Chain A
Amino acid sequence: MNRSFAYRASLVLMAILAALWTLFPFAWYFLVSLTTPGHIPRRFSFPDVITFQSYVAALLGGGTEGTTANVSILPNLINSFIVAGLTVAGCTVLGFGAAYVFSRGRSTVLSVLFNGLLVIRMTPAVSLAVPIYLMINSYGLADTHLGLSLVHTMLSLPLAIWLLKGFIDGIPTEIEEAALIDGASVPQTLRYIIIPLAAPGIAVSACFVFLASYVEFMFASILSRGTADTLPIAIAGYNSEHQTFYNEMAAASFMSMIPLFAFFYVAGRYMVRGLTMGAVK
Chain B
Amino acid sequence: MSSRAASIARPDRSGRYLLGALLALPFIYVAVFYAYPIYKVVALSLRDYQIAYGIDDWVGLDNYATLLSDAETWLTIARTLLYTAICVSVSFGLGLGMALLTVALADAFAERYGRIFRHIVIAPMIFVPAAAGVMWAFAYTEHYGWVNHILLALGLPAYPWLVSDAAFFLVMVTDIWGWTPFIYLILLAALQSLPQEPIEAARVDGANAWQVFRYVTLPLLKPVIVIALTIKTLDTYRAFDYLWIMTKGGPGTSSTTLNLATYKTAFQSLTFGNASALAVITMIFPLAVMILLLVLRRRQTP
State whether the Cβ of B156 lies closer than 8 Å to any Cβ in chain A: no
Most buried by B among A21, A130, A161, A280: A130
Interfacial chain A residues near B182, Cβ < 8 Å: 275
* B79 beta carbon closer than 8 Å to chain A: no
Chain A: interface size category = 35 or more
Cβ contacts A8-23/B at 8 Å (1 or 0 each):
1001001100110111
**Given the complex of chains A and B, what is the CA–CA distance between A43 and B211 in angstroms?**
48
Q: Are A101 and B5 in contact (CB under 8 A)?
A: yes
> Is A101 a contact of B19 with CB atoms below 8 Å?
yes
B138 beta carbon closer than 8 Å to chain A: yes
Map CB proximity to B onto A96-136 as digits: 1 under 8 Å, 0 otherwise.
Answer: 11101110111111000101001110111111111111110
Contact B138 A153 (CB under 8 A): no
Tell which of A22, A176, A185, A277 touches B9, judged by Cβ atoms closer than 8 Å. A176
Q: Mark out the residues of chain B between 113 and 170 whose CB falls within 8 Å of any chain A CB in the assembled complex.
A: 117, 120-139, 143-146, 149-150, 152-153
CB distance B37 to A128 under 8 Å? yes
Rounded to whole angstroms, the CA-CA distance of A104 and B11 in the bound complex is 12
Interface residues of A in 1-53 (CB under 8 A from B): 1-3, 7-8, 11, 14-15, 18-19, 21-23, 25-29, 32, 40, 42-44
Which of A107, A154, A173, A238 is close to B29, meaning CB atoms less than 8 Å apart? Answer: A154
B30 lies within 8 A of chain A by Cβ: yes
Docked pose: A249 CA to B144 CA in angstroms: 14
Using known A-B contacts A154-B33, A235-B130, A272-B185, determine if residue A125 contacts B101 with beta carbons closer than 8 Å: no
User: How far, in angstroms, from A180 to B104 measured CA to CA in the complex?
Assistant: 50
Is A222 positioned at the interface, with any CB of B under 8 Å from its CB?
yes
- With contacts A134-B40, A275-B185 taken as known, whether A106 is within 8 angstroms of B127 at the C-beta atoms is no
Nearest residue (CB) in B for A97 is B22
The reply to whether B7 and A106 form a contact with Cβ atoms under 8 Å apart is yes
Q: Which residues in B have their C-beta under 8 angstroms from that of A187?
A: 15, 18
Complex: A153 Cα to B26 Cα, angstroms: 10
Chain A residues with CB below 8 A from B286, complex form: 122-124
Whether B126 lies near A186 (C-beta < 8 A) is no
Closest to B123 in A: A22
A262-278 with Cβ < 8 A to chain B: 263-264, 271-272, 275-277
Which of B34, B38, B122 has the most A CB atoms < 10 Å from its CB? B34
Interface residues of B in 225-259 (CB under 8 A from A): 227-228, 231, 234, 237-238, 240-241, 244-245, 258-259
Assess whether B92 is interfacial by the CB under 8 Å rule: no
Q: Closest A-chain residue to B1, C-beta based?
A: A108
Residue on A nearest B143 in the bound complex, by CB:
A42
Once A29-B135, A29-B138, A280-B228 are accepted as A-B contacts, the answer to whether A215 and B105 lie under 8 Å apart by CB is no
Q: Which of B58-66, B67-75, B274-282 contacts A (4 or more CB under 8 A)?
A: B274-282
Leading 6 A-B pairs by shortest Cβ distance? A97-B22, A186-B15, A253-B131, A232-B130, A131-B37, A131-B40
Which residues of A come within 8 Å of B, CB atoms?
A: 1-3, 7-8, 11, 14-15, 18-19, 21-23, 25-29, 32, 40, 42-44, 93-98, 100-102, 104-109, 113, 115, 118-120, 122-135, 150-151, 153-154, 157, 161, 173, 176-177, 180-181, 185-187, 189, 214-215, 217-218, 222, 231-233, 235-236, 238-239, 246, 249-250, 252-254, 256-257, 260-261, 263-264, 271-272, 275-277, 279-280
Q: Can you report 24 residue pairs joining A to B where beta carbons are below 8 Å apart?
A: A7-B108, A19-B117, A28-B146, A42-B144, A43-B149, A104-B7, A104-B8, A106-B6, A123-B283, A126-B240, A127-B38, A127-B279, A127-B282, A128-B37, A131-B276, A135-B33, A150-B33, A154-B30, A176-B8, A186-B14, A186-B15, A222-B267, A233-B130, A257-B126
